[in-house]
Chains A and B, each alone.
Chain A
Amino acid sequence: EAQVTQNPRYLITVTGKKLTVTCSQNMNHEYMSWYRQDPGLGLRQIYYSMNVEVTDKGDVPEGYKVSRKEKRNFPLILESPSPNQTSLYFCASTFGGGAWDEQFFGPGTRLTVL
């Protein structure tokens, strides 16, 4: 089944404890993105990647890191989480090539930082 997966789905952590949220897609998509969703603010792009080893900042990159060592995986790293990073996070992937821009979203990861 073609899909985007994220793990964990739910996470409660404490300020300053490094964490990684994994994202994987099995559709051989070129492009991948991370978003955070907060009430009243919609989806805000954190980082995106247009190919292996190619990443770029979205609109809210502060406090986050990403890597794209393999085409299928795009982990989101919070080196020192803070309470203002409590949010619902979505990973998404896109086929690429300019013809199809539809983003396929993962199921979401609800993160709480205490």
Chain B
Amino acid sequence: GENVEQHPSTLSVQEGDSAVIKCTYSDSASNYFPWYKQELGKRPQLIIDIRSNVGEKKDQRIAVTLNKTAKHFSLHITETQPEDSAVYFCAAEPYGQNFVFGPGTRLSVLP
């Protein structure tokens, strides 16, 4: 079955710097890759997603890149702010509604 790895597990950046989180997946059938943000004590919320027919997608300070050949995708956050501090999860969908999540990255934005 699908296996999603995520690195790093923790990441600390200075406010205003960029943060990059990387994920790899194993199943070439996966064609949808969402990223979720989970603040402390809250539910996960979608922040950006990408489909396999697209290489890059951007939404303001957040971007996601996908390399299907290498089976990896990355989340890029620019100009980080304290409110970006949270746990971020990547996921892959090998087939309809079967989602496999990575273990998460705890991002801390230091003032």
Question: What's the Cα separation between A43 and B101 when bound, in Å?
Answer: 6
The answer to whether A94 touches B44 (Cβ under 8 A) is no
Please report A residues at the B interface, Cβ cutoff 8 Å.
Answer: 31, 33, 35, 40-45, 48, 50, 56, 58-59, 90, 94, 98, 101-103, 105-108
Q: Which residues of B contact A (CB under 8 A)?
A: 1, 6, 9, 32, 34, 36, 43-46, 49, 89, 91, 93, 96-104
Contact of B43 among A40, A94, A106 (CB under 8 A): A106
- Which chain B residues lie closer than 8 Å to A98 at the CB level? 96
CB of B43 within 8 A of CB of A59, answer no
Contact A59 B34 (CB under 8 A): no
Q: Nearest-CB distance from A25 to chain B (Å)?
A: 13
Q: Which of A40, A41, A45, A50 contacts B99 (CB 8 A)?
A: A45
A10: min CB distance to chain B, Å = 12
| Closest Cβ neighbor of A50 among chain B residues | B97
**A63, chain B: closest CB distance, angstroms:** 19
Give 5 pairs: A residue, B residue, CB < 8 Å, sorted on A: A42-B101, A43-B91, A59-B100, A101-B34, A103-B46
Give every chain A residue within 8 A of B49 (Cβ-Cβ): 101-102
CA gap between A48 and B95 in the complex, in Å: 12
